[in-house]
Amino acid sequence: MGLDITVMIVDWSWLGEVPSRERLSRLEDAWYADETGLWNRGAPAVKGDWEWPLGPKASFFAIYEFLRTCGSFKPHFWAGEQWESLRDHADPMVRTRLDTFLLGLIWNGLDGEAEHTDPGFFCDEPGVSDGLLVARSPDSVRELAATWEEVRPQLGRLRGVFNEHAAVPAARWFPSFEAFTDLLEEWGRVLTEAARRGWGVVGLSG
């Protein structure tokens, strides 16, 4: 699990106007573009914030820099693992909503088979969309954002079961309940901004 992840929100009217086979390359070309792209400009000066490209693509996509993940997919993966440790002890209503939220983004589910990509968002042919970790259309984003708004006020009800069943003080990523919920809050921020704009969400491995 040595993957990196880059999470971005994307204007669907710009990305969706080309065939699905060409969408990932269109996004990557804009991301890597000399001077106006993002790849060669380093990480944002402020963690936990958005980085926007320059030039003609400035209004089409933005990358979100998570606060304490160092760009690694590991904390996202382990958030799902820790959820498995406590979900059976959670309030059923919270469990159902957080299941939906995490299954849509980073958790592989109890059977390990969850898909985090919407069919047809990018080309489904092998090799065309290599490196794709998350791909959610504007419709999926709206649904996940609505789920987040429902579950967010209830997260505090998980503190006791987290401390009893999932807290690992020596853990690098989530030694505390606050660290766990901070990552969820950041995903909520990504979804909320994308939903506000009517955009999609994409996560690519580095």
Question: Could you report the per-residue pLDDT of 112-130, keeping only the tens digit for each?
Answer: 889 899 988 887 776 667 7
The one-letter amino acid code at 147 reads T
Judge whether 15 lies within some domain: yes
Under 8 Å between Cβ of 91 and 157:
yes
| C-alpha gyration radius of the chain | 17
Q: Residues near 134 by Cβ (< 8 Å), separated by ≥ 6?
A: 5, 7, 105, 106, 116, 117, 201, 202, 203
Model confidence, pTM: 0.91
Judge whether 153 lies within some domain: yes
Return mean pLDDT, the chain: 88
Structural domains counted in the chain: 1
Picking from 100, 106, 128, 99, the residue whose alpha carbon sits closest to that of residue 7 is 106
Q: Give the model's confidence band at 145: pLDDT under 50 very low, under 70 low, under 90 confident, else very high.
A: very high
For 42-54, the pLDDT digits (tens) are 555 556 789 888 8
Give the mean model confidence (pLDDT) for residues 64-90: 91
d(CA 11, CA 13): 6
Strand partners, 119: 122
For 158-191, the pLDDT digits (tens) are 999 999 988 776 567 788 899 999 999 999 999 9
| pLDDT for 206 beyond 90 | no
The pLDDT, as a whole number, for residue 33 is 79
d(CA 45, CA 98): 31
The pLDDT, as a whole number, for residue 194 is 98
Under 8 Å between Cβ of 54 and 35:
yes
Sign of CA dihedral 51, 132, 15, 202: negative
Q: Give the model's confidence band at 35: pLDDT under 50 very low, under 70 low, under 90 confident, else very high.
A: low
Under 8 Å between Cβ of 133 and 110:
no
Judge whether 193 lies within some domain: yes
| N- to C-terminal Cα separation, the chain | 12
Q: What is the residue range of 55's domain?
A: 6-204
The pLDDT, as a whole number, for residue 55 is 80
DSSP tag of 155: G
The pLDDT, as a whole number, for residue 5 is 92
Under 8 Å between Cβ of 125 and 23:
no
DSSP tag of 16: T
Judge whether 75 lies within some domain: yes
Judge whether 1 lies within some domain: no
Judge whether 157 lies within some domain: yes
Judge whether 98 lies within some domain: yes
| pLDDT for 64 beyond 80 | yes
| Helices assigned H by DSSP within 33-73 | none
